Each structure stands twice: as structure tokens, then as C-alpha cells.
């Protein structure tokens, strides 16, 4: 087995140990005539040929087949494959090795990569994502992992956000560490992750632990944005086919909704809200008014919504079709006067929580928004 040169995030000891499954000895090394950059728009690096440069890294000494399989799986999740190179070790001696290079057509390089910057801004997220990803070794191949990685990272981001917590003035302040997970079974790994957990938690009646079995959809955090034009006094809603309504047996499974979408890894809710409005409706928001952040169905799903009203210019000539073809989005856009929008609640045509909540909040705050310069 040849040595493996690690030039990017696997220089982080904690992440490397997660991926390898154990500690492994490494030494300092460089790869001449190469440089490491951020992958454009991503939270991980890429490596390119650059005459006269030297990429710093670590040399993993001849990993056995099991360790190499773990590395291949993880790096394959980013679309990287091994290729032979010659590195120089800490003593300046040339040594044959192999390194993970991006496949042709991969994400182009951006700014020069800085490990400390990555550790500060994306280290915790990447380590959390790696823990989930490596749990699929033997269940998924590397190409399938690559397709799942954006959602894995988004779930990791949501988990870190959840750790911030909210007040517990009236409800129980019993911490999550009082809950003991006895067994976790992963039932499905797709766009979402489905789990069955057997756990034990304290009860209100006696304080004694109760053992239960619960099923859970592990989703991500998402944004809901109702664009509102305070000058024209109208809102923008999107209409699209919804699987939940269809699966329930609704005879009309196309729904009116706020603009909505997943919060990508490394994004704030506000950044995601502005991005989704541009992608789905082709509009730029002048301001965001927060409504609330909340679990939508906490009995069985981890999905968490950040709800906003977004102030925007909504002229008559806005395009009436929107969405990203790359995400198979088929969206029709509606501009609706405030009074007509409120009647949708009365008639029942507004029949999803985020839209109803957004309209009720707007009804309360509309006068203020309309007189604000």
C-alpha cells in the first residue's frame, strides 16, 4: 500500500479520526507544484496544478485496505479519486504517494484555502456531517453518497442550530441529556432520512424513566417567505404540486404557499430566504421581517421553519412561471391583493400553516409596514 497525501480538511485531526474510524499516525509533507483553493461556493477545498507552488498536507503511512476503503468512500462523496504523485516529506525527501483529485468537470477553484478559516466557520458542521456519512459505509456506494451529501450537510447544519435552544419559562427545562437512546435503526436513506429509535426518558407522572419506540423523519431547517409590496398592497404566492396533499388523497394537490426552501449548509435563514425568492420568483427583497421560528410537525419530524415576510417590489409584469429546472421545480406565481389574500383563509383555500401564519402576521403588521418609508 502506498502513502496517502491529505491536503484539505482531513488535516483536521478530529475530522480525520471520524473518517478513518480511529487515530492513525501522520507526518508533515508538501506536494510541489500544486495549490489548494476553496471549491467555488462550497465549504470544502479542491487542489489544482500550479507551477512553483507547494500544497501543505499530511502523509498517511500506507493505510491498510480497511482504512483505504473508508477514505475512498468519504472522498468519493465529494467526487474525488486517487491519483499517483510525488511528495516531499518533513525532511525534504521525495516519496511516492497518492492524492485525491477532483474528477473532470468538478466545481472550479475559488479563493486560496485556509485550514484555520475552515475550522472556525465550517469545522463543526463538517465533522457532524462526516459522522452521518461514515455511518453509511457498506450501505451506500460513493456515488450515491455524493448525491446525498448536500442533504447530509444541511441536516448537520440544522443539528448545530438546534443546539442553541430556546427559553423554557413555562415548559419543562429537562435537558436532552436526560433522554437515553438505546437503539437507532436507519430505515431509509434518501432525500430524507427515516429512523426508528428506542429510547428512555423521564415522565411527568412519576419522574421515572419510560421506554418508548418512536419513528422519525430527519429533515433540515427551511425558510418560508411571503413577499409583500407595501405600496401596491399585495402579496406574492407560489403554486406547485405537493406530494403530501396528493398522498393524503386531496382532489386538488396543487397548493398556494409562501416562497419556501431548504437552508443549505453554511447559510443563514436570511441568506436562504433571499436566495429562494430569487430562484423561485425572480425577485429581490428590500427587507426581511421575521415572523417566527418553529417546528412544523415535532411529533415525528425534525423539520424546523424560519418564517418571514419579505418586502419587495411586485409589479404587474413579473414572470408568472418560476423555479429551478435543475430541481424539477414547476411553479406558477400569483400576485394577490391583501384583501383577496385574507379571504383565502376564510374560504379554506389557504390550507397550509406557513401561509396562514404569514397572512395573519401581515394583517397585524400591515399598517406599520405601509407607513414605513
Q: Which residues 6+ apart lie within 8 Å of 151 measured at CB?
A: 191, 192, 193, 220
Q: Give the cell for residue 251.
A: 382532489
- In this structure, the number of other CB atoms found within 10 A of the CB of residue 221 comes to 23
Q: Which domains does the chain show, CATH number per domain? A: 3-151 (3.10.490.10), 182-218 (no CATH), 221-371 (3.90.79.10)
Give the separation between CA 224 and CA 236, rounded to whole angstroms. Answer: 12
Give the separation between CA 160 and CA 265, rounded to whole angstroms. Answer: 10
Q: Which residues are catalytic?
A: 327
- Find, among 279, 286, 350, the residue nearest to 314 by Cα: 286
3-class DSSP state for residue 344? helix
pLDDT for the residue numbered 165: 86
Give the separation between CA 142 and CA 29, rounded to whole angstroms. Answer: 27
Give the angle subtended at the CA of 330 by the CAs of 311 and 317, to the nearest 5°. 45
Q: Is 329 annotated as a binding residue?
A: yes
Give the separation between CA 294 and CA 305, rounded to whole angstroms. Answer: 5
Give the model confidence (pLDDT) of 227-275 as tens digits. 999 999 999 999 999 999 999 999 999 999 999 999 999 899 999 999 9
CA 342 to chain centre: 33
Q: Is 280 annotated as a binding residue?
A: yes
Q: Outline where 36-141 has alpha helix (H).
A: 65-76, 115-134
Give the model confidence (pLDDT) of 145-182 as tens digits. 999 999 999 999 999 999 988 999 999 999 999 999 99
DSSP 328-361: T--EEEEEEEHHHHHHHHHHT---SHHHHHHHHH
Q: Give per-10-residue mean pLDDT for the chain (373 aa).
A: 93 98 95 97 95 96 94 96 95 94 92 97 97 97 96 96 91 92 95 95 84 96 98 97 96 97 95 96 96 96 98 92 77 97 98 98 97 74
Q: From the CA atom positions of the chain, what is the Rg in Å? A: 25
pLDDT for the residue numbered 323: 77
Question: Could you identify the residue written with the cell 448537520?
Answer: 156
pLDDT for the residue numbered 373: 64
Question: Could you identify the residue written with the cell 465550517?
Answer: 122
- Find, among 322, 232, 335, the residue nearest to 277 by Cα: 322
Amino acid at each position: 500500500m502506498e502513502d496517502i497525501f491529505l491536503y484539505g480538511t482531513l488535516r483536521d485531526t478530529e475530522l480525520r479520526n471520524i473518517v478513518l474510524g480511529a487515530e492513525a499516525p501522520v507526518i508533515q509533507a508538501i506536494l510541489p507544484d500544486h495549490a489548494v483553493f476553496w471549491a467555488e461556493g462550497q465549504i470544502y477545498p479542491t487542489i489544482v496544478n500550479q507551477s512553483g507552488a507547494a500544497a501543505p498536507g499530511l502523509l498517511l503511512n500506507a493505510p491498510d485496505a480497511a482504512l483505504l476503503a473508508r477514505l475512498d468512500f468519504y472522498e468519493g462523496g465529494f467526487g474525488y479519486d486517487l491519483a499517483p504523485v510525488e511528495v516531499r516529506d518533513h525532511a525534504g525527501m521525495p516519496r511516492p504517494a497518492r492524492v485525491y483529485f477532483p474528477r473532470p468537470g468538478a466545481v472550479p477553484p475559488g479563493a486560496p484555502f485556509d485550514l484555520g478559516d475552515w475550522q472556525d466557520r465550517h469545522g463543526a458542521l463538517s465533522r457532524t456531517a462526516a459522522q452521518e456519512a461514515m455511518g453509511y459505509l457498506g450501505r451506500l456506494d460513493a456515488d450515491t453518497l455524493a448525491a446525498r451529501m448536500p442533504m447530509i450537510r444541511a441536516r448537520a447544519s440544522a443539528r448545530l442550530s438546534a443546539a442553541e435552544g430556546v427559553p423554557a419559562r413555562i415548559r419543562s427545562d429537562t435537558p436532552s441529556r436526560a433522554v437515553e437512546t438505546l437503539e437507532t435503526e436507519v430505515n431509509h436513506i434518501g432525500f430524507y432520512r427515516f429512523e426508528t429509535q428506542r429510547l428512555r426518558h423521564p415522565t411527568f407522572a412519576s419522574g421515572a424513566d419510560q421506554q418508548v419506540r418512536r419513528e422519525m423523519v430527519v429533515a433540515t431547517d427551511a425558510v418560508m417567505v411571503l413577499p409583500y409590496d407595501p405600496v401596491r398592497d399585495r402579496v406574492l404566492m407560489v403554486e406547485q404540486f405537493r406530494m403530501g396533499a396528493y398522498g393524503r388523497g386531496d382532489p386538488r394537490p396543487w397548493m398556494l404557499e409562501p416562497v419556501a426552501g431548504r437552508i443549505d449548509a453554511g447559510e443563514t435563514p436570511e441568506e436562504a430566504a433571499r436566495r429562494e425568492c430569487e430562484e423561485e420568483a425572480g425577485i429581490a427583497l428590500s427587507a426581511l421581517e421575521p415572523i417566527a421560528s418553529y417546528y412544523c410537525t415535532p411529533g415525528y419530524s425534525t423539520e424546523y421553519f424560519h418564517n418571514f415576510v419579505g418586502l419587495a417590489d411586485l409589479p404587474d409584469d413579473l414572470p408568472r412561471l418560476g423555479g429551478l429546472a435543475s430541481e424539477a421545480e414547476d411553479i406558477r406565481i400569483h400576485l394577490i391583493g391583501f384583501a383577496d389574500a385574507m379571504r383565502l383563509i376564510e374560504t379554506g383555500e389557504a390550507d397550509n400553516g406557513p401561509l396562514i401564519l404569514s397572512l395573519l402576521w401581515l394583517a397585524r403588521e400591515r399598517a406599520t409596514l405601509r407607513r414605513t418609508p
